[in-house]
Structure formats: structure tokens, C-alpha cells
Amino acid sequence: MSRVLPCDVLVIGGGINGTGIARDLALRGVSVALVERRELGSGTSWASSGMIHGGLRYLQQDPEVTHHSCLDSGAIQRIAPHLVFRIPFLMPVFSDDRIGPEIVEVGLEMYDAYQPLKNGRPHTRLTSAQARELEPMLSDRIECAFTLDEWGVDAGRLCIANALDAMAHGARVFTHTEAVEPLRSPGGRIEGARVRDTVTGETWQVEAALTMNAAGPWVPQVSEMMGELVRQRPGKGIHLVFERRVSNLAIYARGVDGRDMFTFPHEQNSMAGTTDDDYYGDLDRIEATEDEVAYVLEAMERSIPDIRRHRVTHTLQGVRPTLYGFGAYEDELSRDYEVIDHGAGGQAPGLFTITGGKLAAFRLMAEDAADRLCAELGNDAPCRTAELPLPGGEEPVDVAALARKAAISLPAALRLAFRHGARAGQVVGASDPVQSPARTICACEPVLDSELRHVARVEGVRKLSDCMLRVRLGLGACQGAGCTASAAGVLAEELGWDAERTIREVAEFAAQRWRAVAPVLDGAQVAAMEVHRSVHFGMIGMGGAVP
Amino acid sequence: MSGALVIGGGLAGSAAALVLAEAGVPVRRLAAGPGATALTGGSIDVAAASPGVPHLPWRDPRSGEALPSRARLRILLSGASRHPYTTTFGAAGGEALAAAFERATERLAGWLRAEGIDLHGSLDRNLLLPSAQGTLRISDLALTGVASSDLGGCRKVTIVDVPGVEGWDARGCARTLASEIAALGLGPLPVEVVRARDDRFASGAGSPARIAARLDGAEGEGLLKAALEGLGGADELVLLPQVLGLVRTRALLASVSQGRPVGEALSFPPFALAGYRLTRALDRACAAAGVELLRGRAGRVLAAEGRLRVEPEQPGAFEALEPEGLVLATGRFVGGGLEAGPRGVHEPLLGLPVSDPDGRRVDGIPAHRSVRKGYANPQPLYAAGVSVDGALRPQPTAPAGVWAAGEWIGGFDPARERTGLGVALLTGIAAGERAARHVLGSNDSGQAPRGPA
């Protein structure tokens, strides 16, 4: 007899939609189980630009999307101030642009009206000389430039913060657990799902009054399993990740097809992107291709002529769960979202789906979805996700005091405070069993052993690869050459892994990094990966274990 | 300039320079930096093996007996047709290759001995060396520090827990090591972790290099002695991270060992000091032998009217050199012997073709097109280099008077096959010998350089 977990709502998918809905429901007293087949936020959320921007480019077609995004961007800044950072944008205008500065400025003036919603400053117009003083690497061909304000967020940690708060309010969150088939009543009602733990292989059941399909680009697959049809227009997007910050400001660039893209500072790095192309491939093996990489670099080169001199370490790639639309180019598709009740008109009462949407508006979308579920459950508790802080967002952190108290470096304290907010003190206190001083595991980020112990003990990390998203392990120039084995050792102790499992986790992590690096392997990164291979094959001796 | 020039500051380049100097040839060694040798972990693998890695056999499949390197060399020669071992000794056979290694090893040991490092091991006995991760590496040669952590003949391992040291996780090391020992049937060989009673020798240092610098001093040595007091015993290994001094390793080890084996774990960068020590000793040995050590990056090698000319990458960085004999030991991507960039992968000095072990060209092509999905797959890019003939002359178009050594030579994957330093040693010495014969021969006749001997 397999394990059975009864609950009110089963949420399938642990990205920003799934975790956001789980939190919202849990705060209203609904009992929730969430299953995520990989790591929280490891799909589209992680592959996004990590920007909670208003979407200047939706202003013309979808002013509603812009309004919602700006409004919710403001809310996210309130509830998770530690995870959010300001990204001032620089928009250069070239003499051969189709739209001249006057028209651009009209658009920006319209956008200024939304800025107060997200604590942004109004735009300014700079001369070419002023812009190049701010960012000397800008092309000398620019006619003038505009500034505008946007906000970045650690999208992975945002998912985790939502999940942690859901758990604190009684939700159960199961990572590396996939829904394999629906549980159906004799009347055809969906009453949860059989799920499978992909780490242990165990199959068990979640019995739920309602089931919410929040699987992002996997929504059509999950629906199909439940006997329902949901169409999407999946849009693949890639980002290039640079070894370090290329610029202080985000810089607009235009693709050969006229699309807007940007190079922007993100955490310790810069990223460039993104693309938007219809995707019909395997959702579990999304890889950046040579032509996508060339397309992005070509666009960036117009604004930043020497962009190719900067080292690209790896790519991010994901698929947007865009609403289905026929007869439009990818860029013209609506970024709106939809909550579907499969009981109304469909053949699967008890099942709901959320599809489409933008990261920036996740909280509003979750609120809408939770309202619908609560109405069905007869729960009339109000939504509180816009007022209550996410875990870590309760109060500001005195980083200098944290560094002093924990005897750690200031950069380490800064990053801890960024990822964990007010809980950073608790994180650094997760010391090893014999009370050693903090040990630096990854110097790039940096990551301390206590943070790894914390994410294993408190946050429910189950695999080494989870740590890439949780603590940004292995994302620096060395791609984990220096830290993977050390991190695996800490997790092995916390999670009781034997030697064979430990080496397998290292091998999987290394293989995962390789998939992200190989499509852009060039320049100095070729030498960095030469060292990476020597470490993993030569020293760690993982020869037989590599997947 | 008369005499010879060696380009490359790793083991291959230094060995070639030392051979030339000892043959009486005026020699300069030009190095842009320390090279990949400085990143190595403490063993010099002639023919490494690994339990569980199919392409690195260490047991005879029929008898189950452990194979020493001498036997593994025969296996290697029979399989890898473009490995530099095969290129240079394929016709002569495994015994000739082993004999060449024995001569090479003796010479290296001589160079290092004078600089405070001993080379331990032989082709007839496997060293079982634990890494800082607790995995076991089966090797044949190891340097002072790592060599004494050979588990052969050892009755117990005590791993010293030194808190807060980067790259050192004593409990993790112990878990994996115990499992490796069991899998290999080496037991009974208990592994225990002991917290250093007095960790002042390491406290607050963080990185192994800082601790090592501290232990080079008399005060540090005293602190380490006190910390190891009472640990281990006869045939009971006391295992440490690589902290036993940056420059005084042999003396420090002698002082703290006190009748029991004390050794360092094999490590990888940025926690490995063995490669730094090896590079430093080679530099000093070169200087002592009269090799003129130059720092700088060569830009290109030209040949006109039978004369070689080496120009700097940055004009004016050094005066152009016109050697009679030239050994190129510039390494792969880490060393700069191969580059990847807008022109694709290329060999920058002579513009030579770069080929993978199947003979396919990878030069002129973006690096990412020469890699395969699947991290562990054979990767053409990382097994590629220049081709040589049996006399180590670059093929097909290098000018006369030029020899190749080390990882610059393609046809093998140093990471997967772990023969990087073995190739460096063998080809470094062989290239040096050939260059010496060439220069001395051309001096004797008083003519411009002829074809190589």
C-alpha cells in the first residue's frame, strides 16, 4: 500500500506560478501539496531575464500587461526587498533606427506614468557624449540615449522564498517528484495524482479536492495526462551569461530583425538576451544553438562594438508558456495569462490550469488563481501576499554587523544577505557538527559551507544540482571546478549520501554545467574547461560515474 | 643568437632546457607564465589507472592481478595509435618505452633532488594515492609530500581535520576513502578522522597556500609538530591537505614525521601546491644549470633562408630571438600553445594544423564545434594538438630545427588519460636531446642549421 497524502489542493509545478499559488493558498489556510519534478524554479523562472520590469515593449499592444507588471513589481519590492536590485537602463538611439528619438521619447513619457507603481524614476534624455561618459564602451555611432528604471530579481530565490513561506504555513513541497497519472473519481472528477519520487523511485498518491496545473511550458503535457487539451505557443529564449559584469547599466540593443534585446547586470554577472522563437523540441533537453548565440552577439555588437572581447561562460535557456495564438510572430503574441477551470466546459472537473503570463506579474496571477480555487473550496479568506513579507524580507540586514559577528568576509555577508535577507544570521549559524569556523566552498559567488548546510537542513535541497539555483553554486568562471567536490562533501554529510552517491552527484553537476557551457565554448573559457576536465577526470576520478 | 631556445615554462619545456644545458648547448627558456604543470596535484603519471574507469585498466582482466605501469604502458601502446607514446615508441615497443621512462625519471629525480624535492616510485609498483576527495589514484611516480601518503603497506589512515581550510573536508575524505578501500579489497585498513588538537598552525588562514607559507617558518613548523603529536604510528599514515610548505617541504616533512608516515592528499587547483613546488624547483634547476630564463609571450616563429626567428607577441616586449634549435613546449589551451577565438582554434606560433586523435582538423573552426554533448564523452577539442613524426618534428610543414614537446602534441586527452606529465617528461627530454644534437652538429660543421638528426 503506497503512501497517501490528503490535501485541499495539489499544485503541479514548482516554478514561480506554482510556488506563488501555493503560498497564496497556504496563507488563506488551504492545505496544499506541491510537486515539482526537478528543482524549484529550475524551468522557465530560472531561464528568465530575472527582471520584474513593466514591459515597456508591451505598452502598445498590451497596456494591461504593462500596468499589471508595474503594479506587481512594486509589490514584490515591498515583500522581498532583499532579492530585488535596481537596474537602470540605457537606450541608445542610432541615426539608422526606424524610430527617431522624438517618437521614442513619447513612448517613454507614457511609460513614466507607470514608474511610480514600481518606484522607478522618470526617463531622462542624454546626449551621445553624456551616455558614453556613463558607459564608455557604447558605440560612438549613437545619436542620443534615454535612461529608464527597471528592477532585477533572483528569480530562483523568489520561487524558493514563496515555497518556504508556503511551507511555514503548512504546505508540503516535494521536489524531484513528478505527477504520473490523475486520480479520478468514478464520476470522472480529478482528485489529485499519483506521483513518483525521481530520486528514490517511490510512487505514492496525493489526494486533493482540486488540482492546479502550474507546470509552465509543461502545462500541455500535464493536461494531456489528465485527458484535457491546453494549447500553448511555446517560445524558446536564451541568454548569454558573461564571466563578470560587462557594464554597470543595462544597455538596449536591436536584433537584425528589429527586436529589442539588452545586455544587463545580473547579480555577479552580466547577461545578454533574449531570443523568442517558436519551439517544438524536447522540453527536457533545451539547448542554446549556434545561430541563437550568433544572433544575440550580433545585436549586442551594434550597441557595444567590442562585446565579443568579453568572456561568455555559459547560456541560460528556457521556454515561455505563452498563450496560443495563430498567425502572429513570436514577439507579437500576448503576454497575458489565463486560468482555466476544466470543469466548466471541459471533461475534468476538479482540474485547473494556469498558463501564459510574465514573471513580473506572478503575484497577481497567483492571487487570481487562488481566488478561483478558493471560490470552489468555499474559502473566503482574503489574499495577503501583497502585504506579508516573504521569508527574509521582514527587515533590512546590517551586513557589516553580520560579517563581524560571523567572522566572514564582507562579500560573503553581502551575498548571504541578498539570498536570505533577515535570515542570513540563522543561515551562517548552521555550522558543522564539530563547530568549525566557516569554510569557503565557492570563491566565485562566494558560498560558505554553512549556507549549504542550511539549504539542506531547512530548505529541503535534495541534490547537488539544486544548489546551482539555491546558492548559485558553480556559475562562476570556473563553472564549479573548484567547488563541486567540496559542496558535494557537505551535502553528503547533511543528507547521508554514501561515497558512490556523492561521486554521482558531482558527475551529474559537472555534466549539467557542460551542457550550459558547450554551446558557447570559446576564448579563455576553453582553457577554464580544460582545468574543469582535469579536476573531474583526473583528481576526483569520476570516470565511470558520468551520465 | 647561437644555441637553442625552448618556449614553455612547464615540465616539458624545463626538461628540454635542462637536457640542452647539460649537453653543453647555450640555452634560453622563454615562458609566458607557469603553465599547466603548475596546476598538477602531486603525482607524475606515466601510465595512470583508476578503479572503475574502463579506459584506464589497472587489473589484468583474467588473473585480476594489479598491473604495474610497465604493463599498462604495453596496453596503452597497443591501443592508442596517435598517443605521443605510440608516435615516438610504437615501433620500438613497450620495453623500449619503459626503458626510456626509466632514464627520464632518473634525470628528473636528479634535477629535483638538488631543489628539495624527491621523486618516488617506479614503473614496477603501483602507488595508491588518496585525493583530498577520498578517491584513490593509482600512479607510478609522486613528489615529496604526496608520495608518503602511499597506502601500500599502510595499516591505518588518520585523516587530520583542520577546520576552516578551503578544499579540505576530512570527514568527507574519510567516507569516500573507506568506500574506495573496500571496493578495491585493500582492507582491513581502518580510516579515522582526528581533529587537530592544536590548530594554531592553520587557524584563520583559509587557503592551503597561506598555511603552507606559515609552515615554511620555524614557528609554523613547531606548531605543526605539536598538532600532530601522538597521531599515527609505524605504518599508520597521517594524512593532511597540501600544506607542507611552499619551499621547505622535504625538511618540514622530515622534521614532523618522527618515525611514522605523514603525507599530503592529492589535490587540484586552487588547493594544490604540488604543481607550484614542481614548477619552482624546475625553474631553479634550470637557472642552476645555466639556462637563461626569459619571461614573455612569443607572437610568432618565422623561418627564412634556413634561419629561425622568434618574435614577441607585444612588439618590443623582448628582442627577437634567432636560435639554431627551437623546442616548442607551449602546452594546450591553459598554456597558450593553442588558442580559441574569432579565427577559431589555432596554433599561434607557426600556424600549424591542429588535429584530433582521429586525424580530423579542428583548427580554423570555432571551438564549440569540436566538442560533443555529454561531458564524459571523448572530446576531440581536448585531445587535439599538433602532429609530430617519430622524431618529434611538427608535421607537416614546420621549418627545420624545430621540435615539439608536451601537451602541445595532440593525439591524447590529458584529463581522461592522465598521461600529461608523463608525455611532458618523455617528449621534453627527447626533444631536448634531438635539439642538442642538431645545434652541436651544426656548430661542429660551422654551417647553417641542417635537417634534424
pLDDT in tens, A240-283: 999 999 999 999 999 999 999 999 999 889 999 999 999 999 99
**Do A239 and A303 fall into the same domain?**
yes
Task: Give A443→chain B minimum CA distance, Å.
Answer: 9
How far are the Cα atoms of A192, A218, A534 from residue A12, in angstroms, in the given order? Answer: 10, 10, 40
- What the block records as the C-alpha cell of A114 is 507607470
With contact defined as beta carbons under 8 Å apart, do B445 and B32 qualify?
Answer: no
Q: Can you give the residue range of the structural domain that contains A238? A: 85-151+234-315
A471: nearest Cα among A498, A450, A497: A450
pLDDT of B312 above 90: yes
Is a pLDDT exceeding 60 seen at residue A463?
yes
Residue A244 sits in the same domain as residue A286: yes
Output A543 or B228, whichever has higher pLDDT.
B228
Q: Give the confidence band of B1 by pLDDT, cuts at 50, 70, 90.
A: low
Report the gap between the CA of A527 and the closest CA in chain B (Å).
5
> Looking at residue A123, what DSSP letter applies?
P
Q: Is residue A191 located within the same domain as residue A144?
A: no
Nearest to B39 by CA among B83, B9, B69: B9
Interchain pair A438, B382: CB under 8 A: no
- Is the Cβ–Cβ distance between A46 and A155 less than 8 Å? yes
pLDDT reading at B162 higher than 70? yes
Interface membership of B50 toward A (CB under 8 Å): yes
Q: Helix (H, G, I), strand (E, B), or coil: what is residue A33?
A: strand
Tell me the angle at which helices B94-113 and B274-288 cross, rounded to the nearest 10 degrees.
Answer: 80
A242 and A140 assigned to the same domain: yes
Q: For A314, phi and psi rounded to 5 degrees?
A: -160, 180
CA B159 to chain centre: 26
CATH number, position A21: 3.50.50.60
Q: Does residue A354 lie in a domain region?
A: yes
Q: Are residues A453 and A518 in the same domain?
A: yes
Q: Are residues A225 and A160 in the same domain?
A: yes
A103-128 burial, b at 16+ Cβ within 10 Å, e below that, comes to ebeebbeebeebbebbebeebebbeb
The residue type found at A57 is: R
Same domain flag for A228 and A241 = no
Contact (Cβ atoms closer than 8 angstroms) between residue B62 and residue B166: no
User: Which B residues 271-290 touch A at CB under 8 Å?
Assistant: 271
A131 plus A142 within the same structural domain: yes
**Separation in Å, CA of A476 to nearest CA in chain B:** 14
pLDDT tens digits, A8-66: 999 999 999 999 999 999 999 999 999 999 999 999 999 999 998 767 777 777 788 78
Residue A542: what pLDDT?
Answer: 54
The three cell numbers of residue A44 are 522557465
Establish, for the pair of chains A and B, how many residue pairs have beta carbons separated by less than 8 Å: 167
CATH code of the domain containing A107 = 3.30.9.10
Band (pLDDT 50/70/90 cuts) for residue B51 is: low
CB contact under 8 A, B332 and A530: yes
* Residue A294 CB neighbour total at 10 angstroms: 11
Contact A523 B340 (CB under 8 A): yes
Out of A522, A535, A546, closest to residue B368 by CB: A522
Q: Is the residue at A477 inside a domain? A: yes
Q: Please tell me the least confidently modeled range out of A69-78, A228-237, B272-281, B290-299.
A: A69-78
Q: A519 and A448 in one domain?
A: yes
- Reported confidence tier of residue A1, pLDDT bands at 50, 70, 90: low
CB–CB of B415 and A526 under 8 A? no
The CA-based angle B342-B344-B346, given to 5 degrees, is: 120
β-sheet bridge partners, residue A338: A355
How far is C-alpha B138 from the chain's CA centre?
15
What pLDDT score does A433 carry?
67
Q: What is the pLDDT of residue B52?
A: 63
Q: Measuring CA to CA, which residue among A61, A67, A16 is closest to residue A325?
A: A61
What is the tens place of the pLDDT at every residue in B142-152?
Answer: 999 999 999 99
Closest residue in B to A534 (Cα) is B415
Distance CA B68, CA B115 (A): 29
Asked if residue A514 belongs to a domain, the reply is yes
- Say what the pLDDT of residue B443 is: 55
Residues A239 and A227 in one domain: no
Domain count, chain A: 3
Q: Given A377, A403, A427, which residue is the final one in a domain?
A: A377
Residue A546 placed within a domain? no
* One domain for residues A147 and A163: no
Given a cut of 90, is residue A130 above it in pLDDT?
yes
CA-based nearest residue in chain B for residue A311: B341
pLDDT of A547 > 60? The answer is no
**Domain boundary residue, one of A315, A343, A367:** A315
Q: Angle A93-A99-A103 (CA atoms, 0-180°, nearest 5)? A: 95
Same domain, A243 and A366: no
Does residue A373 lie in a domain region?
yes
Any domain includes A402:
no
Residue-wise pLDDT for A94-129, tens only, equals 988 888 999 999 999 999 988 888 888 999 999 999
Nearest chain A CA: its distance from B179 CA (Å): 6
Q: Does the residue A37 lie in any domain?
A: yes
Of A354, A377, A400, the one marking the end of a domain is: A377
State the ipTM, two decimals.
0.95
In tens, the pLDDT along B80-136 reads 678 999 999 888 888 999 999 999 999 999 999 999 999 999 999 999 999 999 988
| A382 within a domain of the structure (yes/no) | no
Q: Is B59 on the interface with A (CB under 8 A)?
A: no
Phi-psi region of A337 (alpha: psi -120 to 50; beta: other; left: phi over 0): beta
Question: How high is the mean pLDDT of chain B?
Answer: 91
